[in-house]
């Protein structure tokens, strides 16, 4: 009979000069008498030097090794990776695991020069490149700052079901599956549940997967992505939602700037945007500028990617802002739960960033009579939505919220050409593996 | 043209005695001249008193109101809810939204006395009860402490796909759906992706939904639940995984104890367990004790719920521990990727808590040749799993990890009779709404 006790350190004891180390070999440079290698262990990347006579076998990329050695200062060529002019002179090295053969992708090079097919088919290997890893270190900071800022405002995190009896957005872009004799749908957004949340916790948020059965295969689309969602009440004006988003974005950008200089450098990312005051224009104002000043005519009741890019450039020139709130989208272009502003317009908004929509938000209808009328006008099935309207019947605060696409925001922030690079294992119409 | 600026406070300016307030009416007590009501706004619950002559309409549960008043000390009956002997004497109150009719559930009572049907059909209302909310405040602290502890150990958070080309566990308990001419499966666990993660970030974790198409409809089962997953390397022994879990559990229990006395009291929860040293027994030792000391014979190569309960009681009496690690499950009862300890046993474990399995974990096979042999022995399809074994081929550190069922742990910790109460909107074989 034995007992298991806790530990509080992942590494063995170490003093200032002697260090026990473990890690995965990221790159190897073998000279006549000594071998240099870079080791990765979690967030740490460090250089180890060992005399070849102390090695029982040649070190190779993909091996995992452990050893002990002296920490000493050194002028490193790869200081951009290690961020420390320091290396470990190892006395002994033990190989803990070995690759079966030379990896198909060499992740030690400064650039991954492989075809798209290889890059995506061997995603678990291309991700080992420091450039790819850097994207997710920054993305995690975006998520963490979203969470911590909202918690500081009193928001409660929710985990809502992904298997649902209805799609929240309606329409055809929903995956369906058999569910114990019924049909289930994969959640396109936590919309209904976050509205319920305003009656329970008043201020709620969720970071979770959403699913869209869209046939687009573009640099802006994914069939599964991460949505940063929030919803809150009691609301006095739909502008409070946009003000909250400005505050969140500001915190996120500041935090990324504080802790990710290494990763921004590795990625050769564009300068981080300044988030102070964000210009706002109504949908109709945007359409007018597009038609009268930019010569873009389009009768659609939404903005297409070309229009978003054009108005983005216009706002950047005119107000030096990389962000733009477009407000008051037309009723016909928004879902039934959107709060009307007048006969035609709604209290809704999109946030455009560098010419691309990254957020959709707005105030929602909170009174029971009003949501019932809106469902009827939209021609939707009242009975199927009764589980939703029961919350309104029992009283909901005036409320609103938004959804921020994590991958689009990450790609925009880091100047990455497609959202696919901003997901560990992307899903599009052609890809379900790895 | 206007600009949107950030805000940093959800509430309007307030000084020490005058307070602007907003919130949802949780309970009302109307006397001849004055009305007392409890208001909820996020994590705050507070009492407001107003003279009836200052009210344009009677206050009702489910309304959202705002107003201004003086903060003053008061002896409150519901101090167990508000935790402050303080109330707001309101001078004016404005009603922001109203319920359409008296809610079908009265969430102001100390106990929700409604049938199971009503409780679950109107889950968005039953959740408004302080008792139900308390479960999720505590559950959020469990998740937050899991995340923050792992980050302090250098773990990286991952978001892995829920739409997959294979089920990770094999077998029939997997949901499937049409996916652009292919068949997709809903992830039963992030197993494959977290193993990849040890080759990328070395130490990884995920908090996310998992899906099991199990026909059980019991107090221990859900068809969609939240799994707290971690995986790490380079590992020197599979005991490191259990030591990490002890450390995590200890942090979680300490944190819940620190910040949730109010919620523990509202829930009348049992005393929090002591997590110091956790006894460990091998699977075979457990079977022997069950047979020889407790008179329970069962030829199955796993432990059933009755056996888990019995050994839990035995360990509690013998070593005063509410936790037990059962190690060395037999090969036949574990998936193909489990590291063998010898011909029959594996380096695997379950953590039992109060007589119920809450964690399954273990070391995994890291060498390519070994994982290929194991797949062959298990009779699985090598080609279908090639996307998985490519990571081993390129080298993975010796690694292992665990999955902790959030709802089972929450229920066990708080003495709640079914995991269903520990999900906002549970999914079982009969329930897809709300």
pLDDT tens profile B36-70: 999 999 988 999 999 999 999 999 999 999 999 99
Q: What is the predicted pLDDT for the residue at B2?
A: 75
Q: Do A7 and B202 touch (CB under 8 A)?
A: no
The tokens describing B327, both together, are 């190690």
Q: What is the predicted pLDDT for the residue at A342?
A: 97
Smallest Cα–Cα separation from B126: which of B111, B141, B142?
B111
Q: What is the predicted pLDDT for the residue at A252?
A: 98
pLDDT tens-digit series, residues A87-146: 999 998 999 999 999 999 999 988 999 999 999 999 999 999 999 999 999 999 999 999
Q: Does A133 touch chain B (CB under 8 A)?
A: yes
The tokens describing A279, both together, are 């210009």
Mean pLDDT, all residues of chain B: 94
Q: Taking a C-beta distance cutoff of 8 angstroms, is the pair A100, A106 a contact? A: no
Contacts of B68 (CB under 8 A, 6+ apart): B18, B19, B20, B21, B90, B91, B92
More reliable by pLDDT, A1 or A304: A304
Q: Taking a C-beta distance cutoff of 8 angstroms, is the pair A427, A175 a contact? A: no
Q: Is B135 domain-assigned?
A: yes
Tell me the nearest-neighbour CA distance from A314 into chain B, angstroms.
14
A337 and A260 housed in the same domain: yes
Q: What is the predicted pLDDT for the residue at B3?
A: 80
Residue A56, classed as helix, strand or coil, is: coil
- B257 pLDDT tier (thresholds 50, 70, 90): very high
- A167 pLDDT tier (thresholds 50, 70, 90): low
Q: Is the pLDDT of residue A21 over 70?
A: yes
Q: Do B434 and A390 touch (CB under 8 A)?
A: yes
In Å, what is the CA distance from B264 to each residue of B120, B260, B272, B359?
23, 6, 9, 23
State the Cα angle at A307 between A304 and A311, rounded to 5°.
Answer: 140
The tokens describing B433, both together, are 């709404």
Q: Is the pLDDT of residue A13 over 80?
A: no
Query: In this complex, which of A184, A279, A432 lies closest to B182 when CB atoms are compared?
Result: A432
Q: Could you tell me the strand order of the sheet in which A176-179 lies? A: A163-164, A182-186, A176-179
More reliable by pLDDT, B167 or A192: A192
Inter-helix orientation angle A368-378/A386-393, to 10°: 150
Contacts of B223 in chain A (CB under 8 A): 163
Q: Is the pLDDT of residue A4 over 70?
A: yes
Q: Is the pLDDT of residue A175 over 70?
A: yes
Query: In this complex, which of A158, A180, A396 lies closest to B424 when CB atoms are compared?
Result: A158
What CATH number does residue B307 fall under?
3.30.930.10
Which residue, chain included where needed, has tokens 């929903």? A174
Burial label, B116 (beta-carbon count in 10 A; 0-12, 13-18, 19+): exposed
| Enclosing domain of residue B160 | 130-422
Q: Does A176 touch chain B (CB under 8 A)?
A: yes
Q: Do A160 and B103 touch (CB under 8 A)?
A: no
Contacts of A277 in chain B (CB under 8 A): 3-5
pLDDT tens-digit series, residues B263-305: 999 999 999 999 889 999 999 999 999 999 999 998 888 999 9
- A363 pLDDT tier (thresholds 50, 70, 90): very high
A181 and A66 housed in the same domain: no
Q: Report the 10 Å Cβ neighbour count for A420.
A: 24
B224 and B369 housed in the same domain: yes
Tell me the nearest-neighbour CA distance from B97 into chain A, angstroms.
6
Q: Do B5 and A276 touch (CB under 8 A)?
A: yes
Query: In this complex, which of B232, B395, B398 lies closest to A62 when CB atoms are compared?
Result: B395
Before A434, cis peptide (omega within 30)?
yes
B394 and B298 housed in the same domain: yes
Q: Is A221 domain-assigned?
A: yes
pLDDT (mean) for B222-241:
97
Counting residues of chain A whose pLDDT is more than 90, the rounded percentage is 86
In chain A, which residue's Cα lies nearest the Cα of B184? Answer: A432
Q: Is B219 domain-assigned?
A: yes
Q: What is the predicted pLDDT for the residue at B17?
A: 73
In chain B, which residue's Cα lies nearest the Cα of A131? Answer: B200
B403 and B322 housed in the same domain: yes
Q: Does B125 touch chain A (CB under 8 A)?
A: yes
Q: Is A124 domain-assigned?
A: no
Tell me the nearest-neighbour CA distance from A138 into chain B, angstroms.
11
Contacts of B364 in chain A (CB under 8 A): none
Q: What is the predicted pLDDT for the residue at B239?
A: 96
pLDDT (mean) for A410-421:
97
In chain B, which residue's Cα lies nearest the Cα of A12? Answer: B236
Looking at A51, A76, A97, the residue that finishes a domain is: A97
In chain B, which residue's Cα lies nearest the Cα of A39? Answer: B202
Q: Does A264 touch chain B (CB under 8 A)?
A: no
Residue among B188, B201, B349 with most chain A CBs within 10 A, to mutate: B201
- B15 pLDDT tier (thresholds 50, 70, 90): low
A210 and A274 housed in the same domain: yes
Q: What is the predicted pLDDT for the residue at B16?
A: 60
Q: Taking a C-beta distance cutoff of 8 angstroms, is the pair B400, B364 a contact? A: yes
Please state the domain count of chain A.
2
pLDDT tens-digit series, residues B384-411: 899 999 999 999 999 999 999 999 999 9
Counting residues of chain B whose pLDDT is more than 70, the rounded percentage is 96
Mean pLDDT, all residues of chain A: 94
The tokens describing A379, both together, are 């021609």
Q: What is the predicted pLDDT for the residue at A60?
A: 97
**In b/e form, how buried is each residue of B278-288, taking b as 16+ CB within 10 angstroms?**
bbbbbbeebbe
A307 and A402 housed in the same domain: yes
- A147 pLDDT tier (thresholds 50, 70, 90): very high
In chain A, which residue's Cα lies nearest the Cα of B174? Answer: A179
In Å, what is the CA distance from A46 to each residue of A84, A86, A111, B71, B385?
8, 8, 19, 57, 33
In chain A, which residue's Cα lies nearest the Cα of B180? Answer: A429
Looking at A40, A72, A97, the residue that finishes a domain is: A97
**In b/e form, how buried is each residue of A208-230, taking b as 16+ CB within 10 angstroms?**
bbbbbbbeeeeebbbbbbbbbbb
B288 and B355 housed in the same domain: yes
Q: Is B168 domain-assigned?
A: yes
Alpha-carbon distance B91 to B29, whole Å? 17
In chain A, which residue's Cα lies nearest the Cα of B125? Answer: A391
Q: How many CB pairs under 8 A join A and B?
A: 362
Q: Do B3 and A277 touch (CB under 8 A)?
A: yes
Using DSSP bridges, classify how beta strands B400-405 and B182-186 pair: parallel, antiparallel or unpaired: unpaired
Q: What is the predicted pLDDT for the residue at B379?
A: 92
A168 and A50 housed in the same domain: no
Q: Is B433 domain-assigned?
A: no
B86 and B137 housed in the same domain: no
Q: What is the predicted pLDDT for the residue at A216?
A: 84
Q: Taking a C-beta distance cutoff of 8 angstroms, is the pair B360, B335 a contact? A: no
User: What's CA B150's distance to the chain center, in Å?
Assistant: 16
Tell me the nearest-neighbour CA distance from B306 into chain A, angstroms.
23
- B139 pLDDT tier (thresholds 50, 70, 90): very high
Within 308-337 of B, beta carbons closer than 8 Å to A belong to: 325
pLDDT (mean) for B81-100:
91
pLDDT (mean) for A1-9:
70
Q: Is B319 domain-assigned?
A: yes
Phi then psi for residue A401, to 5 deg, are: -175, -165
Q: Is the pLDDT of residue A171 over 80?
A: no
Q: Do B240 and A125 touch (CB under 8 A)?
A: no
- A170 pLDDT tier (thresholds 50, 70, 90): low
Which residue, chain included where needed, has tokens 């070391």? B363
pLDDT (mean) for B102-115:
93
What CATH number does residue A42 fall under?
2.40.50.140
Q: What is the predicted pLDDT for the residue at A328?
A: 98
- B217 pLDDT tier (thresholds 50, 70, 90): confident
Q: What is the predicted pLDDT for the residue at B287?
A: 97
Q: What is the predicted pLDDT for the residue at A323?
A: 97
Q: Taking a C-beta distance cutoff of 8 angstroms, is the pair B247, A7 a contact? A: yes
Q: Do B42 and A226 touch (CB under 8 A)?
A: no
B89 and B165 housed in the same domain: no
Looking at A45, A72, A97, the residue that finishes a domain is: A97
Within 333-392 of B, beta carbons closer than 8 Å to A belong to: 366-369, 387-388, 390-392
Q: Do A201 and B177 touch (CB under 8 A)?
A: no
Q: What is the predicted pLDDT for the residue at B1?
A: 59
- A6 pLDDT tier (thresholds 50, 70, 90): confident
Q: Does B226 touch chain A (CB under 8 A)?
A: yes
B167 and B314 housed in the same domain: yes
Q: Does A281 touch chain B (CB under 8 A)?
A: yes
Q: What is the predicted pLDDT for the residue at A276?
A: 86
Query: In this complex, which of A96, A184, A279 lies closest to B1 when CB atoms are compared?
Result: A279
Alpha-carbon distance B160 to B84, whole Å? 43
Q: Is the pLDDT of residue A18 over 90?
A: no
Q: Is B310 domain-assigned?
A: yes
Q: Is the pLDDT of residue B330 over 60?
A: yes
Q: Do B41 and A234 touch (CB under 8 A)?
A: yes
Tell me the nearest-neighbour CA distance from A178 into chain B, angstroms.
7
Q: What is the predicted pLDDT for the residue at A169?
A: 62
More reliable by pLDDT, A242 or B75: A242
Q: Do B122 and A390 touch (CB under 8 A)?
A: yes
pLDDT (mean) for A156-183:
89
């Amino acid at each position: 009979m034995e007992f298991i006790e806790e530990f509080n350190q992942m590494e063995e004891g170490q003093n200032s000069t002697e260090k026990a180390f473990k890690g995965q070999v990221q790159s190897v440079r073998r000279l006549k008498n000594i071998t240099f290698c870079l080791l990765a262990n979690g967030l740490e990347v460090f250089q180890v030097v060992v005399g070849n006579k102390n090695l029982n076998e040649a070190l190779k990329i993909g091996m995992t090794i452990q050893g002990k050695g002296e920490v000493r200062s050194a002028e490193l060529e790869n200081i951009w990776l290690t961020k420390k002019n320091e290396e470990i002179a190892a006395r002994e090295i033990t190989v803990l695991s070995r690759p079966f053969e030379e990896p198909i992708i060499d992740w030690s090079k400064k650039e991954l020069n492989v075809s798209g097919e290889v890059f995506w088919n061997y995603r678990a290997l291309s991700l080992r490149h420091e450039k790819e890893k850097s994207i997710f270190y920054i993305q995690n900071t975006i998520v963490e700052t979203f969470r911590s800022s909202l918690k500081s405002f009193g928001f409660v995190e929710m985990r809502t079901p992904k298997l649902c009896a209805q799609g929240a957005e309606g329409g055809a872009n929903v995956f369906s599956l058999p569910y114990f004799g019924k049909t289930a749908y994969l959640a396109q957004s936590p919309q209904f549940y976050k509205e319920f949340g305003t009656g329970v916790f008043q201020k709620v948020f969720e970071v979770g997967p959403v699913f869209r059965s869209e046939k687009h295969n573009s640099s802006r689309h994914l069939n599964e992505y991460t949505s940063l969602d929030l919803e809150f009440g009691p609301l006095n004006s739909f502008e409070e939602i946009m003000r909250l988003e400005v505050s969140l974005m500001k915190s996120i950008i500041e935090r990324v700037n504080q802790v990710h200089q290494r990763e921004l450098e590795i990625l050769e990312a564009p300068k981080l945007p300044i988030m102070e005051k964000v210009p706002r224009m109504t949908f109709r104002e945007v359409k007018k500028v597009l038609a009268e000043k930019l010569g873009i005519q389009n009768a659609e009741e939404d903005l297409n990617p070309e229009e978003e890019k054009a108005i983005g450039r216009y706002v950047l020139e005119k107000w030096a802002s990389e962000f733009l709130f477009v407000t008051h989208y037309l009723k016909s272009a928004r879902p039934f739960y959107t709060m009307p502003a007048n006969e035609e317009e709604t209290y809704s908004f999109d946030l455009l960033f560098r010419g691309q929509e990254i957020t959709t938000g707005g105030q929602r209808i909170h009174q029971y009579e009003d949501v019932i009328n809106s469902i009827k006008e939209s021609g939707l099935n009242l009975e199927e939505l009764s589980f939703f309207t029961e919350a309104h019947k029992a009283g909901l605060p005036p409320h609103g919220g938004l959804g921020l696409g994590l991958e689009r925001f990450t790609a925009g922030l880091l100047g990455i050409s497609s959202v696919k690079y901003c997901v560990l294992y992307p899903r599009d119409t052609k890809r379900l593996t790895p």
